[in-house]
Homo-oligomer: A and B are copies of this chain.
């Protein structure tokens, strides 16, 4: 498939997927997209793709590597129950409950145990489906020759070589056995409520579109009921790709140049971030990103560009909005503490604990006493994160009043149905100056070592995104150099 054709198709598909995501929320349905398949067929790439093609704030991706001790000490399904996304969200689960039975079957486990296992999986999936979870299962296929070629290509690349292990080759030599076991498993668990979709992984563009289509039709079937017609015009989401913000005062050729330049800069920075992210993982370094800024400052778009460069199995994007009942029954920092990532993982906060001294202050949701002591509390909280050698990057996306207005108008015009301007946005806007004061105080009080703010001019979306990526890269570089010197060994409580 040609690049141009792919691009056009992908663009339409992404818009439709975005729309399906917002339908999920309205319908109180959640989805589990289980991605399994032959080694090197592109499971990780598929997880990346889905995170990049949809809104990652409503997606969690889980790899289910070796269980933690808290998981090991509970019934085996506990870790999957625990990872289930709430209504409105998607969970992308890699291999998950299929990896063990496949291994066991290949290694000649006995038939009765296998059948019992298949039975148990069917019951588990049925239980979820009955309870309002859409389950889509994608099997990525490669034939034996294609797999060999993929391995050889990876080995030829010095940066990718580590991906191919001896075990991979050993499995490849037993390809036939794996294929047979796979067929048995797929046959046994391919039920109408939770069907398998087999996608050929040999052509990457084809695979991406096939996966996108499979997810889209799976979600639509669940949302609109089997057989119901799909909505006539799902394509009304303006944010996809994010390349649509106008570049004022330039002729077409210049616009094209600016866009091309942006794309190439973006690719370079994402590759750099991706490399650093891998090194951070290896040294068990976590990253916490805080995105703050007024409405329409471009937080979501910036987060998406960062997520594209990261391993989605290691990233958690946390949308902070009104606290839940359970969160309200605790100290206000509790909800943030509980989302702090494990070593080697990443959490990106779309709004954060700074809400206490911004929206809660301005709207009178926190008392003067509460918000004024929050500066101290926040400094202490952040100090504790940094002390645990978490790389903490705080981004303030700074949008002007004029540009914000322009974006609100654009939102209103282009997509009033799905992403409509809320009353809250308008109210916030009327309090622009009060927010200004809150922001000044915030910077004075919390723009301090060891967790300074990075203020990014956000009127130009593209430049802002690049700037954000650059800040992430620099923070990681600085830290990783630090980690490699012995001096940090003296840090307390490391």
Chain A contact residues, CB within 8 Å of chain B: 28, 30, 68-70, 73-78, 81-82, 84, 86-88, 113, 116, 123-124, 127-128, 130-133, 284, 324-326, 329-334, 337-338, 340-344, 370, 373, 376-377, 380, 384-385, 387-388, 390, 492-493
Contact = CB atoms under 8 A, between A and B. Distances in A.
A332 to B, nearest CB: 7
Closest 3 CB pairs of A and B: A131-B331, A86-B329, A75-B388
A124 B377 CA distance: 9
A439 to B, nearest CB: 23
A329 B28 CA distance: 8
Nearest to A71: B70
A75 B330 CA distance: 19
B128 A331 contact: yes
13 contacts: A68-B70, A73-B342, A73-B343, A74-B343, A74-B388, A76-B493, A81-B337, A84-B334, A127-B377, A127-B380, A130-B373, A131-B331, A324-B324
Given A70-B70, A338-B82, A377-B130, A329 B87 contact: yes
A81 B333 contact: yes
A86 B385 contact: no
Nearest to A493: B76
A337 B82 contact: yes
Given A324-B326, A492-B116, A133 B76 contact: no
Given A74-B343, A81-B333, A324-B325, 13 more contacts: A73-B342, A73-B344, A74-B340, A78-B337, A81-B331, A84-B331, A88-B329, A123-B376, A124-B380, A127-B333, A130-B370, A130-B373, A132-B331
Nearest to A329: B86
Nearest to A385: B75
Contacts of A116: 492
Contacts of A127: 331, 333, 377, 380
A77 B324 CA distance: 22
A308 B341 CA distance: 37
A78 B133 CA distance: 31
B380 A76 contact: no
A342 B69 CA distance: 9
A215 B92 CA distance: 47
Contacts of A332: 131
A82 B284 CA distance: 22
A76 to B, nearest CB: 5
A90 to B, nearest CB: 13
Nearest to A113: B492
Nearest to A332: B131
B340 A78 contact: yes
Given A324-B326, A340-B75, A334 B81 contact: yes
Q: Which of A84, A130, A329, A390 has the most chain B CB atoms closer than 10 A to its own CB?
A: A329
B380 A123 contact: yes
Q: Which of A70, A330, A387 has the most chain B CB atoms closer than 10 A to its own CB?
A: A330
Contacts of A131: 331-333
Contact of A81 (B28, B76, B77, B338): B338
